[in-house]
Amino acid sequence: MHTLRPATLDDVDFLLDVSIEASRDQGRLPAAADEPGWREGYLDLARRQISDGPSTTSVIELDGRPVGRLRVTREAARIELNGIQLDPSVQGRGIGTAIIRQLQQEAADRGVPLDLGVERDNPNARRLYDRLGFLQYAEDDREDKLRWRHDIWTTELATTYDTPGIGMFADDVLGPTTARLAELAAGGRALELAIGTGRVAVPLAARGVPVSGIELSPPMIEQLRTKADEATIPVTIGDMSAVRVPGEFSLVYLVFNTISNLLTQEEQVACFRNAARHLTPGGHFVIELWVPELRRLPPGTPATVGIADPNYILLDTYDVLNQHVVSHHFRFADDGYEATLSRTPHRYIWPAELDLMAQLAGFTLESRHADWSGTEFTADSPSHVSVYRLT
């Protein structure tokens, strides 16, 4: 059974040895002539990392015997696995996999991604990360950058997402939404970011507006395909802050609070820039988003209860320093005792910050209302529909 303990300065020689043995085993040691300098540099770096780095270095032990090293950096919006190395004598026993799965669980519990970099000359490690569900999101001259996210939009959620005629699928919600979007499309093409199962796209297309979509979750697209084929509503799989869809659009829209699914300010700004890339000059970007409910948080209380029905409790926990909120959905079985828990993490955004993100991407605010029917937006409005124009 493996355990982890924080490394101390007494462990530095062991950390160097295990690093050398693991690298040698992979045929990735520096040339013999460079080794003394490499050792010197490594010892110095390891000492600094243990004493005052933002990361945590741990010694991996097996039955009380040190067998590896692990370095992890925990930030508000992500966890980064900086390095894991095991002595060759204990490799192949699933210790590395178990530790990475533990980190995945920690990331899922906190609602943040788990990131790492893998050197391109290390195909064994790359295979392991592929198997554990990491996807490449960037690269530099030496490494591929991989990211793992807890999969929220699963088949189970996708197949129960639609509630035809009820809630967000009610005619009095979708009627005004699609009427306003059709007006803003002004005879041009529309692109929905995070199109989901086509709650809005399908009735908008039925009004005669050509609609395309970007969506991250294959199960959500599968549900959309039960209602509209690829020729009617083409969808590109990928991240709405990065993926480019062919052609130009007069309208891009992102509704149902979904910009907050991007967990960093950087990604949210990138999403605005991606919307701008798809628009013709003068085109519109529409965002529907809730107003953060921080006025409901008494000092010292980090959570609010949003809904308290007999079968469903919604609890939002806030990390106000990092502008994060995690919604905890407790759904009770018919007996009223057993419950399932699912969590959705968000980065909340004030309207003023949203306007600044828009400005960075070349937009100006054209209108802001409390809903799709044009109700005045006031200090008490719980959410808003903001229309930005590409200048």
Ligand X SMILES: C[S@@+](CC[C@H](N)C(=O)[O-])C[C@H]1O[C@@H](n2cnc3c(N)ncnc32)[C@H](O)[C@@H]1O
Per rule CB under 6 A, is residue 199 in the interface with ligand X? yes
> Per CB under 6 A, which region of 74-82, 111-119, 195-203, 370-378 contacts ligand X?
195-203
Q: Residue 185 or 240: which CB sits closer to ligand X?
A: 240
Query: What's the 3-state SS for 84-111?
Result: EEECHHHCCCCHHHHHHHHHHHHHHHHC
Per the CB < 8 A criterion, the answer to whether 370 and 376 are in contact is yes
Answer for which of 209, 214, 289, 358 binds ligand X (CB under 6 A) is 214
Q: Annotate each residue in 149-168 with x if it binds ligand X (CB under 6 A) or - if it does not, as one string.
A: ----x---------------
Give the torsion sign (CA, 135, 248, 179, 234).
Answer: negative
Encoding tokens for residue 115?
A: 């990131």
Determine if 215 is a binding residue for ligand X (CB under 6 A): yes
Q: List binders of ligand X among 238-277 (CB under 6 A).
A: 239-241, 255-256, 258, 261-262
Rounded to 5 degrees, φ, ψ at 168 are -70, -10
Residue 69 or 110: the one with the smaller Cβ distance to ligand X is 110
* Smallest separation (angstroms) from ligand X to the CB of 269: 13
Please, what is the minimum distance in Å from the beta carbon of residue 267 to ligand X? 7
**SS3 at position 67:** strand
**Residue 180: closest CA among 190, 170, 167:** 190
196 binds ligand X (CB under 6 A): yes
Tell me the site size for ligand X, rule CB under 6 A. Answer: 19
Contact segment (CB under 6 A) with ligand X among 51-59, 79-87, 210-218, 374-382 equals 210-218
Minimum CB–partner distance for residue 321 and ligand X (Å): 23
- Smallest separation, CB 257 to ligand X (Å): 7
- Looking at this protein, which amino acid is placed at residue 36? P
Residue 348: name the closest of 298, 284, 304 by CA.
304
Phi and psi torsions of 290, nearest 5°? -80, 155
- Residue span binding ligand X (CB under 6 A) among the ranges 22-30, 62-70, 208-216, 368-376: 208-216
Contact 276, 361 (CB under 8 A): yes
Residue from 22, 107, 200, 387 in contact with ligand X (CB under 6 A): 200
Distance CA 301, CA 163 (A): 34
Length of the chain: 391
* AA identity, residue 123: P
Contact footprint for ligand X (CB under 6 A): 153, 194-196, 199-200, 214-217, 220, 239-241, 255-256, 258, 261-262
